[in-house]
Amino acid sequence: MEVDVLKRVPVREQEPKVRAANFEEVCLGYNKEEAMAEATRCIQCKNPQCVKGCPVNIDIPGFIKELAEGNVGESYQVISRYSALPAVCGRVCPQETQCEAKCIRGIKGDAVSIGKLERFVADAAAEEGIQPEKAESMNGKKVAVIGSGPAGLTCAGDLAKLGYDVTIFEALHKAGGVLSYGIPEFRLPKDRVVDREVENVKSLGVKIETNVVIGKATTVDELLNEEGFDAVFIGSGAGLPKFMGIPGENANGVFSANEYLTRSNLMKAFDDTYATPISAGKKVAVVGGGNVAMDAARTALRLGAKVHIVYRRSEEELPARVEEVHHAKEEGIIFDLLTNPVEIHVDDDGNVTGMTCIRMELGEPDDSGRRRPVEVPGSEFTLEVDTVIMSLGTSPNPLISSTTEGLETNKWKCIVAEEENGQTSKAKVYAGGDAVTGAATVILAMGAGKAAAKGIHELLSE
């Protein structure tokens, strides 16, 4: 296969028109020939900048070198020394602002397609039945991990590799956290990717107990004092949805993105053989501009709706990944930018009949450095919709912080923890991920899980 060193090997995708009507994965990924060709574009920098751009510091040139030589198994073992979830990260990490943003190739031409290569290695290794390497012996110490999302799985995986006896407690009936309930099938296949990576973490000796709500069934203090755990990691995520507080928001047909996505992803409401219903809507407005908003919009589209994204700032400020916005547009999502909802119209039966919006313009920069959107007086108009999905972000669930003595939180109810080792205000208790930072990305949560595993190891090996 011929390679233009300035250009990345293109990746195959499902046609927009076809994929808009199915839940199959959008990006089809590289085959071995394409992956090996792309791998040759890496110039194996002596001082690799890409590694610095990665929140879990994967030896990127290392795994790419093995791949370029066709050694998939070796390449996988290089990655799995750093990451428990390569098939996930290869799909949902914002590589364009992390590793790939720092790639020397990117200065003149395209950066090496690091994410797609990572994805290929993880998928190919799984097909060959290759699993991460287990600890040689156990050290007899027990660690409890709360939450089986990216932070928890990473922390558990790292500790298990060091010989700890790790149990993950998951509140839902299925492991994976946001990877299972939040990110849709078409971006992150559940059986083929999420379940498999969870199995890989289990293959390291990690136990996962589902249906256990910490703070209700048992508490952090009980885990430490009664159940014999030497340390606890809290990776419970940021689960509580925000609403706008506008009139009509409790109408039938107004959902949080969490509810809409949970029904579709976790409960598989899009599949008729599952019992959970979903009111998909025919004309849907998704309020918000983040990755979750794109996921909700593209899910509604696949369930047969005409979908508008309603976002109060301009395209430049959209917090979603460029790739997601691009995919959404290709599939036919309509973007109503510089637009903000004012009121939701409700009929006598309590159903949504429309939404009044107002046009916005950008004023002076606010605290976030982005220009503040201001209403344009008299610009109200009505969007005829039967469904409104609020995707305005989430905040941490107070369930654990309110039932754990001596655990400090900040004014946003986030748990206070040291960045370098996850240590909280309470001895033997560590935390990381969205529970600490508020809603962020999968890879940042993984980075925090990794840092906490290191912190816990330092504590317990003293």
Partner 1 sequence: MYKILKKEYLANNIWLMDIEAPRVAKSCQPGQFVIVKMDEKGERIPLTVCDYDREKGTVTIVFQIVGASTQEMAEYEVGEAFMDFVGPLGCQSELLELTKEELKKEKLLFVCGGVGTAPVYPQVKWMKEHGIDVDVIIGARTKDILILEEPMKEIAANLYIATDDGSYGFKGNACDQINELVKNQGKEYTRVVAIGPMIMMKFVALLTKELNIPTIVSMNPIMVDGTGMCGACRLQVGDEVKFACVDGPEFNGHLVDFDQAMLRQRMYKTEEGRAMLRLQEGDSHHGGCGHCNG
Hey, is 255 helix, strand or coil? strand
**Structural contact between residues 132 and 161, judged by C-beta atoms closer than 8 angstroms:** yes
Footprint on residues 198-217 left by partner 1 (CB under 8 A):
210-213, 216-217
Decide whether 162 or 261 has the Cβ nearer to partner 1: 261
- Report in angstroms how near the CB of residue 24 gets to partner 1 at its nearest: 20
Decide whether 29 or 253 has the Cβ nearer to partner 1: 253
Decide whether 256 or 339 has the Cβ nearer to partner 1: 256
Q: How many residues bind partner 1 (CB under 8 A)?
A: 37
Decide whether 86 or 235 has the Cβ nearer to partner 1: 235
Decide whether 78 or 146 has the Cβ nearer to partner 1: 146
Question: Which of 83, 95, 98, 256: binder of partner 1 (CB under 8 A)?
Answer: 256
Determine the Cα–Cα distance for residues 162 and 141; give it in Å rounded to an integer: 10
Determine the Cα–Cα distance for residues 300 and 294; give it in Å rounded to an integer: 10
Decide whether 99 or 439 has the Cβ nearer to partner 1: 439
Half-sphere exposure of 216 (CA within 13 A, CB side): 9
What is the DSSP-derived secondary structure letter of residue 133?
Answer: P
Query: What six digits make up the tokens of 47?
Result: 């001082």
The residue behind tokens 């407005």 is: 285
250 binds partner 1 (CB under 8 A): yes
Question: Which of 80, 95, 258, 424: binder of partner 1 (CB under 8 A)?
Answer: 258
Stated as kind and residue range, the H or E segment containing 225 is: helix 220-225
Footprint on residues 361-380 left by partner 1 (CB under 8 A):
none
Footprint on residues 112-141 left by partner 1 (CB under 8 A):
none
What count of other Cβ atoms lies within 10 Å of the Cβ of residue 427?
10
Q: Which stretch binds partner 1 (CB under 8 A): 46-54, 89-97, 238-246, 381-389?
A: 238-246
Question: Which of 392, 399, 416, 459: binder of partner 1 (CB under 8 A)?
Answer: 399
Stated as kind and residue range, the H or E segment containing 145 is: strand 142-146
Question: Which of 218, 314, 353, 356: binder of partner 1 (CB under 8 A)?
Answer: 218
438 binds partner 1 (CB under 8 A): no
Hey, is 359 helix, strand or coil? strand
Decide whether 62 or 341 has the Cβ nearer to partner 1: 341
413 binds partner 1 (CB under 8 A): no
Determine the Cα–Cα distance for residues 23 and 4; give it in Å rounded to an integer: 33
350 binds partner 1 (CB under 8 A): yes
Determine the Cα–Cα distance for residues 151 and 134; give it in Å rounded to an integer: 20
In the chain, helix, strand, coil percent, each to 5?
A: 35, 20, 45
Footprint on residues 138-197 left by partner 1 (CB under 8 A):
171-173, 181
Alpha helices in 247-382 (DSSP H): 257-261, 291-302, 322-331
Query: What six digits make up the tokens of 48?
Result: 């690799």
Decide whether 49 or 219 has the Cβ nearer to partner 1: 219
Q: Using CB under 8 A as the criterion, what x/- string covers residues 266-295 for binding partner 1?
A: -xx----xxxxx-x----------------
Decide whether 58 or 175 has the Cβ nearer to partner 1: 175
Determine the Cα–Cα distance for residues 72 and 93; give it in Å rounded to an integer: 21
Alpha-carbon dihedral 96, 98, 104, 108, rounded to 10 degrees? 20
Q: What is the largest CA-CA distance in the chain?
A: 70
Contact residues toward partner 1 (CB under 8 A) are: 171-173, 181, 210-213, 216-218, 239-241, 243, 245, 249-250, 252, 255-256, 258-259, 262-263, 267-268, 273-277, 279, 349-350, 397, 399
